[in-house]
Amino acid sequence: MEAEVEKLKPVWLYGRFFIVSILVVGLGIPAVIHGGDWPLMLLIIFAVPFLLGELAGIKDLQDYEYKHPQVFYGLEYFAEFLAIINISLCAWAAGAYMGNDFLGIGAWVQAVFGYDALAVHQSHTLFQLNTIIGVGGIAAISSTLIVGHELTHRVGQPLTYFIGRLGSAFGLFTYFSIRHPYGHHNLVCTPADPATSRRGENLYPFIWRSIIGQYKMTWALEKKRLGVQGKSPWSWENIALRGWAMEAGVILMFIYAGGLLGLFFILVIGLIPHLALEAANYIEHHGLVRVPTEPMKIYHAWNDNTMTIYWAIAGINRHSHHHADADVDFWDLKAVPDEAPETFRGYGLSFLLAAIPPLWHRMMAPRLLEWDEKFASPAERELAKQQNLESGIPILMEAGKNLPSQQTNPAISQTV
């Protein structure tokens, strides 16, 4: 028995990062085809253990070494493939509800398994339709934020970058492959970054400020890049335009399969990773400041070493190391528990608190003041002082009034 367990250890060591992007997304494929209550059951089976793990707050502070890191590449490509299939089946499900059989999938299922999937889908309630959208939304989060994020960081690997952008297109998310590596990573924790939330800023206005600002910056980055080459931003060499063309193809597929309902499906599926990203952006750098001319340090991101989220989102919760060195692959990210500020009990619970602004600000205010004292440089303290005064949060405003202009800097300036 022990020998069998030892054989399975490598499978778990490599595969745990793909619980969502392969296991959940993969199981979503038969769940969407079957319809009925299967999508709802999948969502519950995924969500409950995740939330319980977040509540338990068990941390993984170990730094790992992998003998065969190339295995991760194959798993990432497979995960993108599964997500594309999953989301495409959501287009079929929208059409099936309307009595259409996109690509003859329903006929094939009945011929092979004797199951009348079309009849089941035509009888769906509005709630059941929404659970299918939810399954597609998880697949979109995987193809864009979990796996797509990692693949589109590898800008020097054209095939990998393209696969990441293709997966992102099925989540209407290709702008991310431009704005994130070339904008966010260079500007984070400064006023120029729309994806950095300010002290006292609530989640809901931040979401729309960030989304609009990031799309504007995506266009500006490509316009500037092509302008240096003497080319028009409207040329086909504009990576943003090519990405939006891929997204248009996905939208047309959904409309062809399910008409207006198909359009509704893909718009909501595409909205889900946008909202998930902005919730993550909101908590990952909330209230942190940086002098624009100074390099990104370990302490310029709220880190999270909660075990369940570490598995669920392919290690990107080790966010401090990720921003200190964006070229490091997710499996090599370090926990840095003593060198970076930490979130409140993981991303999941932080998301829930952020959704209730008074509770969020009450919880974050002392953490921000601790960051000012423990990590910030003298110049950063000046920036923090100004944000404190403008925050509208009484404890921060009072600290802003009393904070001396110059203090001894105990900041941790090390980068990994």
pLDDT score of 4 more than 80: no
pLDDT score of 123 more than 80: yes
Contact 242, 317 (CB under 8 A): no
Question: Mean pLDDT, the chain, as a whole number?
Answer: 93
Q: Place 5 in a pLDDT band, splitting at 50, 70 and 90.
A: low
Closest CA to 54 of 258, 290, 350: 350
* Residue 404 included in any domain: no
Contact 190, 354 (CB under 8 A): no
Range of the domain at 252: 2-356
Mean pLDDT of 307-330: 93
* Residue 150 included in any domain: yes
* Residue 388 included in any domain: no
pLDDT score of 412 more than 80: no
Least trusted range by pLDDT, from 2-16, 175-189, 224-238, 347-361: 2-16
Structure pTM? 0.93
Report DSSP state, residue 410. -
Q: Place 407 in a pLDDT band, splitting at 50, 70 and 90.
A: very low
Distance (Å, whole) CA 272 – CA 72: 26
* Residue 178 included in any domain: yes
Burial of 294 (0-12, 13-18, 19+ CB in 10 A): middle
pLDDT score of 416 more than 60: no
One-letter amino acid at 231 equals K
* Residue 373 included in any domain: no
Strands (E), 172-302: none
* Residue 253 included in any domain: yes
Beta-bridge mates of residue 342: 303
Total structural domains within the chain = 1
For 72-87, write each residue's pLDDT tens digit. 999 999 999 999 999 9
Positive or negative: CA dihedral 220, 221, 225, 231: negative
* Residue 252 included in any domain: yes
In this predicted model, which residue has the larger pLDDT, 414 or 365?
A: 365
Mean pLDDT of 147-175: 97
* Residue 149 included in any domain: yes
For 368-404, write each residue's pLDDT tens digit. 999 999 999 999 999 999 999 999 999 999 999 886 6
Mean pLDDT of 229-254: 98
DSSP-based three-state secondary structure for 67: coil
| Long-range contacts of the stretch 375-380 (C-beta < 8 A, 24+) | 375/299, 375/341, 375/411, 375/412, 376/289, 376/409, 376/411, 377/291, 377/294, 377/409, 377/411, 377/413, 378/406, 378/407, 378/409, 379/291, 379/294, 380/289, 380/290, 380/291, 380/411
Residue 11: per-residue pLDDT:
87
